[in-house]
Amino acid sequence: MLMYEQDKKKYGALLPKTGVYFLPDDKVLGFLKIMNYLRLVAEQKGDYGRAKTMKKRFEEFSKAE
């Protein structure tokens, strides 16, 4: 259980909530971090349509991973 808690701190929402889990690929994780950063930039600039799209894609990709 301790290992799961450490992984949860590191990977956050990318870990499944139940069952056996596998750690996400570092390349995919890097891509998702960039995608989330771009979403935040879009929100700061007031481009909420793009931010919403980025958030939706982020959620889709993180579930698939």
The tens digit of pLDDT for each residue in 19-55 reads 555 666 778 888 888 999 999 999 999 999 999 999 9
pTM (whole model) above 0.75: no
Residue identified by tokens 């930039």 is 41
Place of tokens 């909530």: 17
How many other β-carbons are positioned within 10 Å of the β-carbon of residue 44? 9
Quickly tell me which residue has 């481009």 as its tokens: 47
